[in-house]
Structure 1
Amino acid sequence: MFSAATSRRSRLAYSTLALLLAGAAGAINATSFFAFGQHITHMTGHVTAVGEAVASGQWGDALTAGQMVFAFVVGAVTATALLDASRHRTRGRHAAALLVEVVTLGGVGLWVHEHPDANESTLMWGLAFAMGLQNALVTRVSGAVVRTTHLTGVLTDIGIQLVRMVVWVRDGARERGLRGIWHKVLDLPSAEQFERTRLHLGLALAFLTGSILGTGLYLRYGASAMALPCVVLVVVMALDISPAGSRAPAASL
């Protein structure tokens, strides 16, 4: 997942960033569903909706779904431009993109809190924009390995890696019998070749945890639940701006 030149501290920083953002995305997705009746963090369904609407001649519905996809792409473009503009900084390289996401999510949450019956399409555009921005940010940081706004690829990789883990443990049995199996199992939590697997398992759990917390907070506090992902993003910003953030190699961007 990471190059050999990437320090352990940098790998930990990237993993922490990805896990926190996956949790935020899960909370946003859950909150969006309860507020607007749509999951917002992944675009597959919206692209499908465009195709269905075009095929059935429902041009208004096609335009609505297409606008969601467009907003997501604009978010990705925005994040990439901000990252390129800040790539020479020693710290805070992600802060500008994260700040835009916080302001966008906070604005949507505040508007829905003040207008609880509002179901304006522009609010969903804002959420789609924020998720496109976040997805592009993590994609650039991880070298196109990690996505935090959807889990299809993550779950696929987990399935593939689980088989590789079983094969790895089985090879231990061939080498040293039961003792070999035992040593291989003990080595699983630290084996370098399964670092990506552990991260993907963490991403799935973080997204699920965010979904649970987002749902619980929305059912109890309404649109104020959007404060949760905003707080998480502010924490990520603080980590990025801190002296520790300067240790991450700029080449990842």
Structure 2
Amino acid sequence: MRPADLAREHGISTQAIRNYERDGCLPLAERTPSGYRIYTELHASALRAYLALVAAYGHATAGSAMTALHADRLDDALTELDRGHAQLLRDRETLTAVRAAVGHLTGAATGTGLPVLPGARTVGEVAHRLGITPATLRTWEAAGILAPARDRATGHRRYLPADVRDAELAHLLRRGGYLLDHIATVLRQIRTAGGTGELAGALDGWQQRLTTRGLAMLTASARLDRYLALRAADPERPAGTAT
């Protein structure tokens, strides 16, 4: 196969094929005496696997996994993918928690909300809970998304359970790609009117994106498995990364 043959299947450029080989995302190609690359079904399978990994995990993870694989570090490649699955699970758990929080908000608006647990958290504790920085929380506060109280003696922020809930909502929506002003509007709507229609739509959209990502991971796993089988069956398979 020529670079154009691989590129045509995916609607990409021949330069992209050469770049993928150079970066270690594809195995090294053999060369003709005149220097032209010769690709095989092994390379075609590697390209299908790599592009499927990009769709499921993103360029960085896909690249790290394929370069590790071509350096004969299979466990490192699988670890990269494990991190992606772990993130998807965390997102699903967060979504479940936020849906529960929305139910609490709706119930609170009608006087039937769940009891609020006592206690307050610091900005550092909330940041650690969400896996973000305190500076991010302060940015959300400046954007009108959060409004934690202040300790009268120290002036430090005090995040009550409702504030933590709002931070979790904001975190999920940010992961879903929503802008800060949109998130602020959603939370204001819930606080003032108890209406969750807009938020429910956002959560449904994020749920669909999680489903799409999960299905993309299944596709990527199947194509990667096919590529690994071809590598194992090829006694003269290319190894290493391009120079």
Normalised TM-score (structure 2): 0.31
Higher-helix-fraction structure: 1
Normalised TM-score (structure 1): 0.30
Structure with bigger RCO (C-alpha 8 Å, 6+ apart): 1
